[in-house]
């Protein structure tokens, strides 16, 4: 047994120190970034924020909405090849779509059918997604996926430590997805005791990733996945070194989100559930297998309306952070950031009256 004594940080353990700034207007803050990816060699420009590949957030409707803001939607993996073909026949914005799969044989077989159907040009990104990227089998699958999709930008994870970040990048991923146990619909920490505070995971994994490069193209990148509750958490992730941010909670509960709509006492709610929750396993696999435990929550969120309004608020918040820290662009967030460790992040005294 070993104990690591340095304290690992979550988003709500820190605040960002304000810095002298020459910015004159929030409007001039550039939230788009341009990356060239180390393996695919492709260049991408957009706002590096993605809706998670969950049933409730990685929907076709979300992709149509977020594309307008140059944001990514990671489609959930339960769409059939026919549904994907129909969607892509009238949607043409490959840069803002990610195709998702797991490491099971049927996931790879389905991807083969998608590529055979000529749909590979309809999405720039492929996400290889497992809850635990520490499995040797996962690392092998990263190599298999790179061989199958040499020109796609591959996002793979999830992990939370530097050595696996490096390994995933060296095996062929362009972007490592970082986060274990931090998701809002995730119960992994309470069920297993395993996890890593999200901000420290991002700081440590991005440091490792940015040290790996392909001289002809770019450096390794990370996507912070899960745990962002407020727009400020997105700012903190970018300040911590995240190149991309993925969120489920940000994009749940909207008109464009998936999940059942429920009315109670005249109020509308929308379902949000983890992909390892009983609800998800019931709907996709006919129940929770005996050897597994549900590691996800199933909740009803007050219906939030149109996701475009939220995106405006999120962008406004990021631009405001930029003015406080003197960053002209999202790209400068991590260079400009100093975190303060705090005991108390927010003044909640008026919340009971809201
Ligand atoms: P959020 O943005 O809601 O905090 O977290 C979203 C992330 O939680 C997803 O992108 C995914 O990585 C993770 N996640 C989604 N469903 C589950 C689940 O059922 N169990 C666990 N452990 N993690 C989940």
List pLDDT tens digits, range 80-110.
Answer: 999 999 999 999 999 999 999 999 999 999 9
| Res 354: pLDDT | 83
Catalytic residue among 149, 186, 205, 239: 186
The verdict on whether 149 is a catalytic residue reads: no
Higher pLDDT, 23 or 340: 340
- pTM to 2 decimal places: 0.97
CA of 293 to the centre of ligand 1 (A): 15
Closest-CA residue to 35 (of 108, 121, 164, 124): 124
Pocket lined around ligand 1, Cβ cut-off 6 Å: 52, 54, 131, 158, 179, 183-186, 188, 225-228, 246-249, 274-277, 295-296
Rounded Cα distance between 101 and 253, Å, is 24
Nearest protein CA to atom 17 of ligand 1, as residue:
274
Domains of the chain in sequence order = 31-284+295-340 (3.20.20.70)
CA–CA separation, 350 vs 353, rounded Å?
A: 6
Average pLDDT of the chain is: 96
Picking from 202, 239, 205, 208, the residue whose alpha carbon sits closest to that of residue 224 is 202
> What's the confidence (pLDDT) of residue 23?
85
Any idea which of 160-169, 301-310, 343-352 has the lowest mean pLDDT?
Answer: 343-352
């Amino acid at each position: 047994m070993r104990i690591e004594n340095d304290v690992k940080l979550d988003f709500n353990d820190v605040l960002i120190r304000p810095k002298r700034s020459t910015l004159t207007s929030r409007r001039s803050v550039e939230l788009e970034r341009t990356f060239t990816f180390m393996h695919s060699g492709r260049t991408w420009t957009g706002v590096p924020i993605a809706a998670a590949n969950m049933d409730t957030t990685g929907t076709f409707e979300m992709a149509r909405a977020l594309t307008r803001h140059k944001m990514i939607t990671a489609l959930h993996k339960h769409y059939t090849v026919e549904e994907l073909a129909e969607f892509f026949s009238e949607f043409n914005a490959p840069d803002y779509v990610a195709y998702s799969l797991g490491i099971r044989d049927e996931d790879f077989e389905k991807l083969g059918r998608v590529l055979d159907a000529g749909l590979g040009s309809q999405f720039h990104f492929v996400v290889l997604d497992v809850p635990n990227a520490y499995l040797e089998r996962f690392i092998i699958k990263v190599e298999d996926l790179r061989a199958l999709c040499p020109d796609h930008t591959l996002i793979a994870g999830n992990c939370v430590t530097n050595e696996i970040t490096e390994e995933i990048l060296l095996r062929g991923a362009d972007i490592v997805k970082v986060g274990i146990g931090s998701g809002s619909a995730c119960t992994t920490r309470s069920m297993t005791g395993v996890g890593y505070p999200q901000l420290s995971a991002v700081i440590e994994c991005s440091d490792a990733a940015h040290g790996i490069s392909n001289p002809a193209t770019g450096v390794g990148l990370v996507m912070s996945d899960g745990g962002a509750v407020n727009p400020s958490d997105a700012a903190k992730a970018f300040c911590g070194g995240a190149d991309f941010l993925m969120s489920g909670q940000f994009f749940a509960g909207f008109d464009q989100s998936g999940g059942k709509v429920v009315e109670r006492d005249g109020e509308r709610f929308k379902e949000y559930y983890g992909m390892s929750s009983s609800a998800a396993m019931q709907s996709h696999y006919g129940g929770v297998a005996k050897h597994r435990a549900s590691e996800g929550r199933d909740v009803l969120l007050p219906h939030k309306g149109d996701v475009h309004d939220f995106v405006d608020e999120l962008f406004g918040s990021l631009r405001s952070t930029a003015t406080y820290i003197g960053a002209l662009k999202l790209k400068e967030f991590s260079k400009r950031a100093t975190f303060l460790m705090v005991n108390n992040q927010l003044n909640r005294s008026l919340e009971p009256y809201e």
